[in-house]
Amino acid sequence: MAQTANIASSPQKRANRGHRRPRAVVDRAITAPISARGQRTRATLLKAARRIFERDGFLNARITDISELANVSHGSFYTYFSSKDEIFREVVLAMREEFVSAEHLVVAEGENPVQVIADATRRYLKSYRKHAALLATIEQVSTFRNKSKWLLQIRSSGRIGRTIDFIRMLQERGLVDKRLDVNYVGPALSLMVMRFAYISFVEQASIGKKTDIERSVAALTLIWTRTLGLEPASRRSKLTRSTAMPLEPDGLSK
């Protein structure tokens, strides 16, 4: 892979190689574009990179293809990004912002927590379906030992933390049994939704199977509410009736 043209070797750099900061951090401080034109070019490269990562995956994506799609010379790419790894991270971080807003879990005074869970689950599933191609690439990269740590943190820790905070808030309001250990129940519920989305919109979609969003919301919300003990038995069927969730095991996909 080509190297950044304006980075020259020096005794000081050679001496620091054993404890060098991540290159993306160093290069960002040097080459971050400051002009309006530079910002536009950088945004175009990010848009092109996303399309290439979605189409080819991480391993087969090439900087040459990203540059060509963005109508930028191969050498100019390195004015804005130090490597394929760095631009991939930027693409992931940009997408992550949408998920943060989709995972809003706050119950206002007098608001039904079950409805909050259903609405948040619906937003998350719709966002996941929208970004499924890129998320499939993220799943691929998460298996790489040298890249998985930051990616796993971005992919799951924020959502899990918000879920834990949400359940703890419900406990403080007396809506959820305080004997439930939020440090285990929170990750279990959060990862259930995340894995369900991956299987539905990546794996099943790849073989032509479609997953109905509203049926999915009904099923996942029912699991949430029964786990947390939010609904009395007399009201548990309300959400199910309103979304017509089937009872057969394979009813979530059609």
Tokens of 111: 């608001």
Each residue of 27-55: pLDDT tens digit? Answer: 443 445 568 888 999 999 999 999 999 99
Q: Of 163, 154, 184, whose CA–CA distance to 116 is shortest?
A: 163
Condensed to tens digits (0 to 9), the pLDDT of residues 73-113 reads 988 999 999 999 999 999 988 888 777 666 666 776 678 89
Mean pLDDT of 182-203: 94
b/e map 79-116, b = 16+ CB within 10 Å: bbbbbbbbbbbbbbeebeeebeebbebebeeeeebbeb
> Would you tell me how many other CB atoms lie within 10 Å of the CB of residue 72?
18
Q: Domains in the chain, ordered, with CATH?
A: 11-86 (1.10.10.60), 103-243 (1.10.357.10)
Give dist(CA 66, CA 61) in Å, integer.
Answer: 8
Could you tell me where the DSSP H helices lie in 61-131?
Answer: 63-70, 74-80, 84-102, 113-130
Per-residue pLDDT, averaged over 141-153, amounts to 68
Q: How far is CA 42 from CA 53, 66, 129, 143, 230, in A?
A: 16, 12, 26, 28, 47
Amino acid at site 61: A
- In the chain, DSSP finds a helix count (H) and a strand count (E) of 14, 0
Indicate the pTM of the whole model. 0.70
The two tokens of residue 122 are: 């619906």
What is the pLDDT at residue 157? 56
Question: Can you give the pLDDT at residue 30?
Answer: 41
